[in-house]
Amino acid sequence: MANIKSANVCVIGSGNLAQIIGLLLTQSVSDVRLEQLTLIDNAKVKTEPAILPLEVTEDNFKAHRVLSVASALQKVNASIRSYDDTTPEIQVFPVVYRSIEEARNNINLPDVIIDTKNSVSSKIATNKFAKENNLPAIFAVAAHSGKCELEYFDVSSFEGSYQNPIVSGVVGGAVVEQVIYLANGLKPRRGIDYALPFEATELGYVRDKTVAMIGTGALGNVMGPLLALSGVNIKFSDFDLVEKKNCQKQYLYSNFFGPTEGLKKITVFENTLKEILRLSGLMSGVNGVSKKIRSVSDLEELTSEADSLLLAVDNDWTRMLASKFGVASGIPITDPALNQSGGRVAQYFSGKTICLHHQVHYRGCSPKKSPNHVEPVDSCNQCEGSGVPCGNVVVPARIVGSMAAAEVLAAILGRPLSGAYIQYLWGDETIAIGVREDCECLGRIPAEYSQISYRKLKLDPCYGDDNISLKEVPKLFGLRKNK
């Protein structure tokens, strides 16, 4: 698949993991050089939390889910093309078979195969087909934890499990990153092994909690649906109108239910998310407020009934205001940020973690250039010379936004990121940064909180290159502080 002009990608499965991978491939069509997307699965449509708006009616309830997924992805592609005539049309072919082995006579030979099913028999069939045809294959699974690799691995512990949307987001983003590397003639840098920072049985405790979210852009489009699908009520604010660029990269603004350009973001965001929840059989509350956050009183109004505050904004002034508000009010704040080469997730938890103001100075930055500062595309040095398409934000947004959603739920459960943040970079390791111990906002706290904390997100080193290894930083492991 080296430096090809067009790619035929075959995705096996139609669950949340396949839906996210298909969505990201459709949004990254230029980077992947995608021309044809083949979806293989024989699962039936069912009422369960799903990333895409999959219509469930009495007529199609017994129909195959892969047909609904293909239809939704075609709408995304059509929406992007309606605002950007340079985007090529993608041919999406749904094929109703259990595995690629059964479908072999009904599909074109793909350039790469992605198996997303939590099924041992499917993975075995994919491995066999890939070896017979000398094709690259990516094996991925997702449940309460998830994993993807370029080599076959035992998935028996995942057999038949429901694919958690948050885990599917982290793993699915890593899969598409691998595809982008392959499509550009590069050796994929890594696999991924991710687990949620809480037990599956604890998800019941976050239902009916409320998260206040500022912003509905690239990160908001990822985090809002994931939290709502987890049963959390969402109260969000935004004041912008939907622009062409939003329709192209932020899937809730796709023309699923009609043109969206020029409409209020909060209206489209709220209506589309409510429809996804309805089709998923969920009753999470979604409430939008058309307001620009300018003062503490605005934050007080937004968070009056909230258990947590989530920042999905791209300006540091709002972050600083929210950080000071969090110190004063005690509300836990989750703050993800993106740039063209990756992103990071931080949390500010009064009395337990360093506030944003002191984190800025701890990093040796001025307030005008905080750790959240976004480098311009032409000066980004992370991707320079690597051949990685610089400027693709949808993949980092999916990975970082999914991790952030998990950390929001962990904070509600009393397990904030204690004095650290998670960082994701194209083709690099994930790291955590320790606290500055003299931050007066921390007050008198146990010594354990001044240690570095690390969530279980292990990214394998470059294939065939052991120069980078998480073993070099053993102090990062096992220091998460429970409530």
Domains and CATH numbers, the chain: 7-194 (3.40.50.720), 200-476 (3.40.50.720)
Res. 441 pLDDT band, cuts 50 70 90: low
Q: Are 23 and 169 in contact (CB under 8 A)?
A: no
Query: Of 173, 145, 148, 158, whose CA–CA distance to 402 is shortest?
Result: 173
Q: Pairing state of beta strands 7-12 and 431-432?
A: unpaired
* pLDDT above 90 for 266: yes
* pLDDT above 80 for 424: no
Q: At residue 457, what is the residue type?
A: L
pLDDT of residue 45: 83
Mean of the per-residue pLDDT values of the chain: 78
* pLDDT above 50 for 147: yes
* pLDDT above 80 for 435: no
pLDDT of residue 112: 93
The 10s digit of each residue's pLDDT in 200-255 is 889 889 988 999 999 999 999 999 999 999 999 999 999 999 988 888 789 999 88
* pLDDT above 90 for 345: no
Res. 315 pLDDT band, cuts 50 70 90: confident
Residues 329-340, mean pLDDT to the nearest whole number:
84
pLDDT of residue 102: 93
pLDDT of residue 7: 81
Residues 121-140, mean pLDDT to the nearest whole number:
95
Residues 259-268, mean pLDDT to the nearest whole number:
91
Residues 269-295, mean pLDDT to the nearest whole number:
90
pLDDT of residue 307: 94
The 10s digit of each residue's pLDDT in 9-47 is 999 999 999 999 999 999 887 777 788 999 999 998 887
pTM, two decimals, is: 0.84
pLDDT of residue 60: 54
pLDDT of residue 317: 79
pLDDT of residue 443: 43
pLDDT of residue 59: 57
* pLDDT above 60 for 409: yes
pLDDT of residue 55: 72
pLDDT of residue 134: 94
- Of 432 and 322, the structure prediction assigns the larger pLDDT to 322
- Of 342 and 246, the structure prediction assigns the larger pLDDT to 246
Residues 153-170, mean pLDDT to the nearest whole number:
93
pLDDT of residue 439: 55
pLDDT of residue 418: 56
Secondary structure of the chain: what % helix, strand, coil (to 5)? 35, 20, 45
Res. 454 pLDDT band, cuts 50 70 90: very low
